[in-house]
A and B are shown apart, each in its own frame.
Chain A
Amino acid sequence: MSASFPLQLWCKRRILPGFGLTLGFTIVYLSLIVLIPLSATFLKASGLGWESFLRAVTSARVLASYEVSFGISLLAAVVNAVFGVATSWILVRYRFPGRRILDAMVDLPFALPTAVAGIALAAIYSPNGWFGRPILALTGIKVAYTQLGILVALIFVGLPFVVRTVHPVLEDLDLEYEEAAASLGASRIQTVFRVVAPELFPPLLTGFALAFARAVGEYGSVVFIAGNMPMKTEIVPLLIITKLEQYDYRGATAIAVVMLMISFLLLLTINGLQRWANAVQIR
Chain B
Amino acid sequence: MIESRHRPPKGRPAVRDPWWFRTTLLSLSVSFLAVFVLVPLFAVFFEAFHKGLGVYFASLNDSAAIAAIQLTLLVAAIAVPANLVFGVSAAWAIAKFHFPGKSLLVTLIDLPFAVSPVVSGLVYVLIFGAQGWLGPFLQEHNIKVIFAVPGIVLATIFVTFPFVARELIPLMQAQGSEEEQAALSLGATGWQTFWRVTLPNIRWGLVYGVILCNARAMGEFGAVSVVSGHIRGLTNTIPLHVEILYNEYNFVAAFAMASLLALVALATLGIKSFVEWRTHAEVPAKEWSDYA
Q: Which residues from chain A sit less than 8 Å from chain B, CB to CB?
A: 10, 14-19, 21-23, 25-27, 29-30, 33-35, 37-38, 40-41, 44, 83, 86-87, 89-90, 93-96, 100, 102-117, 119-121, 123-124, 130-131, 152, 155-156, 159-161, 164-165, 168, 171-172, 174-175, 178-179, 182-183, 188, 191, 206-207, 210, 213-214, 216-220, 224, 236-238, 240-241, 244, 249, 252-253, 256, 259-260, 263-264, 266-268, 270-271, 274, 278, 281
Contact = CB atoms under 8 A, between A and B. Distances in A.
B86 A26 contact: yes
Contact of B265 (A111, A214, A259): A111
Given A22-B92, A34-B111, A256-B122, 4 more contacts: A17-B190, A219-B117, A241-B118, A267-B107
Residue in A112, A121, A259 with the greatest tally of chain B CB atoms within 10 Å: A112
Contacts, number: 312
Nearest to B291: A210
Interface of B (DSSP majority class): helix
Given A41-B122, A119-B255, A182-B15, A172 B289 contact: no
Nearest to B257: A116
Interface stretch (B51-59, B136-144, B199-207, B218-226): B218-226
B97 A16 contact: yes
27 contacts: A17-B184, A19-B93, A29-B86, A34-B108, A83-B28, A87-B29, A87-B33, A90-B25, A90-B26, A94-B26, A112-B40, A113-B215, A113-B258, A113-B265, A116-B219, A116-B258, A123-B43, A131-B35, A183-B14, A188-B17, A220-B225, A224-B243, A237-B118, A249-B131, A263-B116, A268-B107, A270-B114
A267 B110 contact: yes
Nearest to B267: A111
A214 B32 contact: no
Contacts of A87: 29, 32-33
Nearest to B33: A105
B15 A175 contact: yes
B8 A94 contact: yes
Contacts of A89: 25
A112 B32 contact: no
Contacts of B264: 111
B20 interface: no
Contacts of A271: 107, 110
Contact of B116 (A38, A111, A115, A219): A219
B239 A241 contact: no
Contacts of A10: 98-100
Interface of B: 4-6, 8-10, 12, 14-15, 17-18, 22, 25-26, 28-30, 32-33, 35-41, 43-44, 47, 86, 89-90, 92-94, 96-100, 105, 107-112, 114-119, 122-127, 129, 131, 133, 154, 157-158, 161, 177, 180-181, 184, 190, 193-194, 212, 215, 218-222, 225-226, 239-240, 242-243, 246, 251, 254-255, 258, 261-262, 264-266, 268-270, 272-273, 285-287, 289-292
